Structure 1
Amino acid sequence: MAEQGTERRLNMIEAINDALDIMLERDPDVIIMGEDVGYFGGVFRCTAGLQEKHGKTRVFDTPISECGIIGVAVGMGAYGLRPVPEIQFADYIYPGLDQLISEAARLRYRSACDYIAPMTVRSPFGGGIFGGQTHSQSPEAIFTHVSGLKTVIPSTPYDAKGLLISCIEDNDPVIFFEPKRIYNGPFSGFYDKPVEPWKKHKDSVVPEGHYTIPLGKARHVTEGEELTVLAYGTMVHVAEAVCREKGVEADILDLRTMVPLDIEAIEASVKKTGRCMIVHEATRTSGFGAELSALVQERCFYHLEAPIERVTGFDTPYPHSLEWAYFPGPVRLGEAIDRLLKD
């Protein structure tokens, strides 16, 4: 699964850039396209230098038309290419929903496998830059509801590179959301704690060369007996920091992929601890945490020693100036942990 040589310390932006560079080099069918991904290198610099190295036919800018970007990518995939379109912010993906849902997700099924859509839609998502309602949304639950789409969210540079390579090599359409709040380093969620740069973080060590991380396999962040925490993306780091601050020995699972989901790892953990807390940044109602809660209830009911706790964003339009109040942070996570462990 790996062609590893030396290792480097990278932030998530650098790891994503490295994965794209490797796949452009290895596979002539890989194409990168999107708004400002070429000459400018992307608004967050994830594609910096790739057009200069691989040429304007492999890495190119598109008009500001999300439905066009995704629609063209579907056609490219059916033709035999492996497009990696970038949607500049996850909030901008909605004009392309029809192409994703009605075309990309269904192409394999409606053609009886004569055609596929091996495309990976990259997009920064979530808060962290005070972008307000049009630059900070977390729409992952929409895509987990669509049969035929896979949904992937990394939380570390190591995972970002390995998962992205797996997505590009996969023969199904994948939504690859990149938590921009941790592009340059993991926030703990505490106002008074300094941001730890990736250069010092244990998960910043990234092997050079090609390696993959299987889709559908969760990562054990920490192991413990007191409770299970299910999280992904930025919230993995927030949950880890809160549990460490409170001295709680938690079994923290980084889901990595929502679809396919590692339900076996979740079931084993909850049956071990008897308590479950689910954390995500998206709004609560119909968020992916609701599906996780239902699955845990169905599979682990007789092992649960307390009600399942969900700590999420609020059911409001995303606030601009109140971004940090909207985030599931140490206070709300701490209160949920106290409720879970009170008996």
Structure 2
Amino acid sequence: MTMIQALNSALANKLEQDPDVLMFGQDIGYFGGVFRVTDGLQERFGLQRCFDAPIAEGGIIAAAIGMGAFGLRPVPEIQFADYILPAFDQLVSEAARLRYRSGGEFSAPITVRSPYGGGIFGGQTHSQSPEAIFAHITGLKTVIPSTPYDAKGLLVSAIEDDDPVIFLEPKRLYNGPFNGRPDQKVASWHGHPAAEVPDGLYRLPLGKAATIRSGEAVTILAYGTMVHVALSAIEECGIDAELLDLRSIVPLDIEAIEASVKKTGRCIIFHEASRFGGFGGELSALVQERCFYHLEAPVERVCGWDTPYPHAFEWDYFPGPARLIKAMSRVMEAR
């Protein structure tokens, strides 16, 4: 399956298994979503289980919170992660706090799906990576898959979770993994082992990182699209790097990170979002706190530029293999 097909399969499995699951958002019903993730679900499960919503992100999330508080498991879609900000107050002030605020009487078991990141020439308002904003909010979970197999298993777990989950789907990975340059993109998941996705229901735990490649020289922490870019860089430069796919940044598998960095003694954090204030700063602080006496070089961050999203220079903005290879060389030369 492609990631689109895997996500569609997860949604269909949960709609079939649990009558309390429903989904709604802009164009996700009859049209099947702008990226076709919900294609065919309205026809199969009906208008009350998969339906369109107006262009009102605050209303979409507010309605989902109310549904969740009274026993349903809504899966609202925000058409692009850039558009989620009009609903931010609902997520922060209501969804994230509802369980604590009500003394456990109510919860918000909602899964907010949203395509995120760049790589489709969508410009400034269709390409941003706001994961660090959500990670800062206590009570929200933030999940970012990198493969079709992970996407399905993580989405099922997110829908079944009793707390609100922000589920960010890298647009560059919908149809195939990209290594960071448009002339070297892989246009299909065909033949990729992580594209072997079962039709039936399965789950992957939230907060459990995956070791994509074992190594002894340096630990690379990545998630989403950057997992594939990092793998290309490692293959190109020949450094014996260990690559961890975090899969979710909240909850975070700090135990896996700590074990890997203590083994290699070096750490590079690799994400598409801007460097300043990005989630890499939190990862760097955690590695410093927990692994200081094992570090043989400063922790490096390889990230997007600290600028508004530059549509005209999209592929220069992305941290590609060349920038990661330079960072690996620097940490290997440090004494």
SS in 2 for 1:311: strand
Correspondence 1:333 to 2:324: yes
Matched with 2:65 is 74
Q: 1:308 aligns with which of 287, 299, 321?
A: 299
Matched with 1:23 is 14
What is the CA–CA distance in structure 2 between the aligned matches of 1:79 and 1:268, rounded to whole Å?
41
Equivalent residue pairs, number: 334
| Paired residue type of 2:171 | K
SS in 1 for 2:190: helix
SS in 1 for 2:184: coil
Correspondence 1:233 to 2:234: no
CA contact (8 A) 2:214 2:243 kept: yes
| Paired residue type of 2:231 | E
CA contact (8 A) 2:181 2:315 kept: no
Matched with 2:150 is 159
Matched with 1:217 is 208
SS in 1 for 2:215: coil
Q: 2:26 aligns with which of 27, 31, 35?
A: 35
What is the CA–CA distance in structure 1 between the aligned matches of 2:40 and 2:32, rounded to whole Å?
6
Q: Would you identify which runs of 4 or more consecutive aligned residues in structure 1 move more than 2 Å?
A: 190-194
Q: What is the root-mean-square deviation of aligned Cα atoms in Å?
A: 0.8
SS in 1 for 2:312: coil
For residues 139-183 of structure 1, give each alpha carbon's deviation from its aligned partner in whole angstroms, at most 9, with x where no partner exists.
000000000000000000000000000000000000000000110
- Cα deviation for residue 193 of structure 1 reads 2.3
Matched with 1:264 is 255
Matched with 1:144 is 135
For residues 248-282 of structure 1, give each alpha carbon's deviation from its aligned partner in whole angstroms, at most 9, with x where no partner exists.
11110000010000000000000000000000000
| Paired residue type of 2:125 | T
For residues 191-237 of structure 1, give each alpha carbon's deviation from its aligned partner in whole angstroms, at most 9, with x where no partner exists.
44241520121211112201000001000000000100000000000
What is the CA–CA distance in structure 2 between the aligned matches of 1:26 and 1:248, rounded to whole Å?
46
Aligned residues with identical type, % of pairs: 69
What is the CA–CA distance in structure 1 between the aligned matches of 2:91 and 2:127, rounded to whole Å?
21
CA contact (8 A) 2:177 2:185 kept: no
SS in 1 for 2:282: helix
Matched with 1:205 is 196
Matched with 1:92 is 83
For residues 304-330 of structure 1, give each alpha carbon's deviation from its aligned partner in whole angstroms, at most 9, with x where no partner exists.
000001000011000112100000012
Matched with 1:288 is 279
Tell me the TM-score normalized by structure 2. 0.99
Correspondence 1:124 to 2:142: no
What is the CA–CA distance in structure 1 between the aligned matches of 2:38 and 2:194, rounded to whole Å?
22
Correspondence 1:182 to 2:179: no
Correspondence 1:135 to 2:126: yes
| Paired residue type of 2:327 | A
CA contact (8 A) 2:178 2:186 kept: yes
Tell me the TM-score normalized by structure 1. 0.96
SS in 2 for 1:129: coil
| Paired residue type of 1:205 | E
What is the CA–CA distance in structure 2 between the aligned matches of 1:217 and 1:330, rounded to whole Å?
25
CA contact (8 A) 2:80 2:115 kept: yes
What is the CA–CA distance in structure 1 between the aligned matches of 2:153 and 2:215, rounded to whole Å?
26
Matched with 1:6 is none
What is the CA–CA distance in structure 2 between the aligned matches of 1:316 and 1:244, rounded to whole Å?
30
Matched with 1:54 is 45
Return 45-54 or 195-204, whichever deviates more. Answer: 195-204
Q: Which runs of 5+ in 1 are unaligned?
A: 1-9
Correspondence 1:253 to 2:250: no
Q: Which runs of 5+ in 2 are unaligned?
A: none
